[in-house]
Amino acid sequence: MGRHAAARASDVFNLFRVPSEVLMTIRCLTVPVLVVLNLACLAAPVAAQPGARNGEWRAYAADTYSSKYSPLDQITADNFDELEVAWRWRTADTHLVVEGASGASLVPSETRFDLLEAEEPDRWVTRPGAGRLVATPLMVDGVLYLSTPLYQAAAIDARTGATLWVHDPRIYEAGTPAPAPWAHRGVGYWESGGESRIVWGTGDGFLVSVDAKTGLPAADFGDGGRVDLTENLPRATRGLRDNLNLLPLSSQSAPLVVGDTIIVGSSINDFSITKEMPPGFARAYDARTGRHRWDFHNIPQSADEFGSETWLNESWRYSGNANSWSNMSVDPELGYVYLPTSTPTSDYYGGHRPGDNLFAESLVAVDMQTGQRVWHFQMVHHGVWDYDNPTAPNLLDITVEGRDIKAVAQVTKQGFVYAFDRVTGEPIWPIEEREVSTETDLEGEVLSPTQPFPTRPAPFDTQGATLDDLVDFTPEIRQMAVEAVEGFRLGPLFTPLSLQGTIFRPSAGGGANWSGAAVDPETGILYVPSRNVHSVMRFRRPEAGEPSTLDYILSRGGASFIEAGNPDRRPQMPQGLPLWKPPYSRMTAIDMNTGEHLWMTPLGNGDRIRNHPMLRALDLPPLGGDDSRSGPVLTKTLLVHALTAGGTDGGPRLVAYDKATGQPVGSVDLGGGAIGTPMTYMLDGVQYIALTVGGEGAPGLIALALPQ
């Protein structure tokens, strides 16, 4: 197997494996990908500054650099506790009742959202999925724009919370989206010549564009206001369902809008039992007309495409996924878009796709004008742990040992920060190929003998699952943990999966995830939340009659498939005790100018854990325990993050931290758990913090402000 790191488009290097003790050599080149794009708005460098500007929030993560930063400073450590709810908005999904196959119609209703249910769960909305309001709103010219779990988009008065319009693409009539039904993270905003539009992807594989003022379809965009994302995409035939009866392709993250170009990724079923799945192309479209501009092949589509040699036995012909399901970032001055990619089909077994499998689990820099790869780096070779790059990389300008660097930092599920020169792809600090175990009892599985380990920064969360990592609050609890893991395979990061059942940590839901990190453009400090959770995977052969083309599939149910999604629900430990040493969630500040950790603070006191009968008498440090996927937002002086009830006593709270020390400096009650990432904006001299929350009844959007 070759190893593939970064290189300029004009450079050609030999590809070879390096010893584990040697720095990974910079290599690789760019090859053309599909269509050449003439993009007038990028013909000359575009002046751009990271961070939200003019009190607005025009992109999912504040800007195309994914900073999650705003220079607003009306809300401070001195007054944060005084914040109060300025207004609440109830999700537009509450006004939909899906009647099922008999009626298949929508009826205005005041039915409680938590009772919304379907007659046919395989086709219609189910109660657990419908409440996942995880989006972060945009704010432009006094209006907030938000997407809902049912893929509606809404415009909301940013002063009052009044609904201005709702556009419903009625995607639920097509079926259930993959892979996370009824969750959508946000919309994109485009404007030109006095015209403005809202764009978003849908669960049935369309890109929708509507007038930002009215919510009506943009008639000159595609076919009546939408384009088909499955068009000319292999194995994404419209109308077909996969093995879980899910639609073959959806788009659940906010599109990236730069100039007159929309770039969109895709979401595909992670748990396919067939090796044949749609590949996850990143696709670019004209923002005005919807005309297709280019595709980037996350999986090569011909034998002469670069990277095809990393798919042995021509497995690129049928393999799918490797998609950019999360958000992406763009440097408008360079004209480069940065794509974080995911695991190929299937997430946990790769015997049918021998090789390193480019460009899966990679960071890829793509030229916005052409769709051509400029450079790439693969974080996981031949991935079988679902270690997708789960979030948009952060673009930041730093100074390292006196050298100014335009940098890009990718935080990962593994707990690593991979840092590169975003122009050339050269690692800022050495990244070493280190030997890892390849021993597995899964026949046909050929794992990579090395994986790339950054030498700096140090990991921001715990890695691996060993006896030394087990909880040891008391000798009795320690012994319970030892007994709980008996019979499972343990080991360091990248321990192979097995028929026996391998406990691996972080899990696919651990480390950093889709909410990602925030970065202060004034200091170069990166702030990343993470979770200390694990997975247990056990496999079996497909049974007669199962429509599987894989040699092994996950054995799901009971103890054979365990995703320990939060620290107070540990199937292996009796009485709800945690399995691992704390903290169970944390926030870490890293100076990207030096690669040094500045501070770490547990996210929450862990009251739900420490109130356990076996722990109440113990003097325990803060444990963390926040199990949300909410991300941080930065202001001039504060880091703001939402905590769930798992991390704090008395219910979910919005907490402000001192950016320099990590010390909490204020908090307010939310009344419901937050899943999405907060944002902040200024309007009529008032600074607001807005975020989506759940709780009793309908989830919705709340805006907090100081008393007026």
Instruction: Kindly report the CATH number assigned to the domain that includes residue 461.
Output: 2.140.10.10
**Distance of alpha carbon 17 from alpha carbon 26, whole angstroms:** 12
Which of 268, 221, 234 minimizes the C-alpha distance to 386? 268
Amino acid identity of residue 596, one-letter, is E
In order of 362, 378, 452, 462, the CA distances from 20 in angstroms are: 19, 16, 9, 22
**H or E stretch including 373?**
strand 373-378
For the chain, what is the radius of gyration of the CA atoms? Answer: 24
Residue showing tokens 């599939």:
553
Rounded mean pLDDT, 379-387:
98
Rounded mean pLDDT, 578-582:
94
Q: What is residue 99's predicted lDDT score, i.e. its pLDDT?
A: 38
> Which tokens belong to 643?
């905590």
**Distance of alpha carbon 448 from alpha carbon 433, whole angstroms:** 11
Q: What is residue 500's predicted lDDT score, i.e. its pLDDT?
A: 87
Sorting pLDDT into bands at 50, 70 and 90, what band is 574?
A: low
445-455 pLDDT tens trace: 999 999 999 99
pTM score of the predicted model: 0.89
Sorting pLDDT into bands at 50, 70 and 90, what band is 645?
A: low
Task: Give me the long-range contacts of 102-111 (CB less than 8 A, separation at least 24).
Answer: 104/173, 106/168, 106/170
Looking at 92-106, 526-540, 571-585, 680-694, which range is the least confident one? Answer: 92-106
665 in helix, strand or coil?
A: strand
Residue 32 domain-assigned (yes or no): no
Total domains in the fold of the chain: 1
Q: Is the dihedral of CA 506, 508, 509, 511 positive or negative?
A: positive
The answer to whether the CB of 650 falls within 8 A of the CB of 663 is: no
Rounded mean pLDDT, 680-708:
90
Residue 376 domain-assigned (yes or no): yes
Residue 615 domain-assigned (yes or no): yes
The answer to whether the CB of 564 falls within 8 A of the CB of 580 is: no
In order of 130, 183, 203, the CA distances from 179 in angstroms are: 14, 9, 9
32-77 pLDDT tens trace: 333 333 333 333 333 456 899 999 999 999 999 999 999 999 999 9
Q: What is residue 609's predicted lDDT score, i.e. its pLDDT?
A: 87
The answer to whether the CB of 265 falls within 8 A of the CB of 359 is: no
Q: What is residue 50's predicted lDDT score, i.e. its pLDDT?
A: 86
Q: Is the dihedral of CA 495, 496, 500, 505 positive or negative?
A: positive
**Distance of alpha carbon 220 from alpha carbon 650, whole angstroms:** 51
Sorting pLDDT into bands at 50, 70 and 90, what band is 650?
A: low
Rounded mean pLDDT, 12-29:
31
Rounded mean pLDDT, 457-465:
98
Residue 194 domain-assigned (yes or no): yes
Rounded mean pLDDT, 330-344:
98
Task: Indicate the average pLDDT of the chain.
Answer: 86
Rounded mean pLDDT, 99-112:
33
**Distance of alpha carbon 345 from alpha carbon 513, whole angstroms:** 20
Q: What residues form DSSP beta bridges with 702? A: 88, 691
Q: What is residue 3's predicted lDDT score, i.e. its pLDDT?
A: 60
Longest alpha-carbon distance in the chain: 69
Q: What is residue 30's predicted lDDT score, i.e. its pLDDT?
A: 35
Residue 122 domain-assigned (yes or no): no
**H or E stretch including 609?**
helix 607-610
Residue 121 domain-assigned (yes or no): no
Residue 519 domain-assigned (yes or no): yes
203-250 pLDDT tens trace: 999 999 999 999 999 999 999 999 999 999 999 988 777 777 888 899
Rounded mean pLDDT, 158-162:
98
> The sheet that has 256-258: what strands, in order across it?
256-258, 261-264, 282-286, 292-296
> Which tokens belong to 76?
């401070």
Domain that includes residue 545, residue range: 40-91+131-705
405-442 pLDDT tens trace: 999 999 999 999 999 999 999 999 999 999 999 999 99
The answer to whether the CB of 521 falls within 8 A of the CB of 69 is: yes
Neighbours of 244 (CB within 10 A): 15
Q: What is residue 242's predicted lDDT score, i.e. its pLDDT?
A: 73
State yes or no: pLDDT of 644 exceeds 90: no
> Which tokens belong to 684?
């009529």
State yes or no: pLDDT of 148 exceeds 70: yes
Q: What is residue 248's predicted lDDT score, i.e. its pLDDT?
A: 87
State yes or no: pLDDT of 23 exceeds 50: no
Sorting pLDDT into bands at 50, 70 and 90, what band is 131?
A: low
Rounded mean pLDDT, 89-95:
84
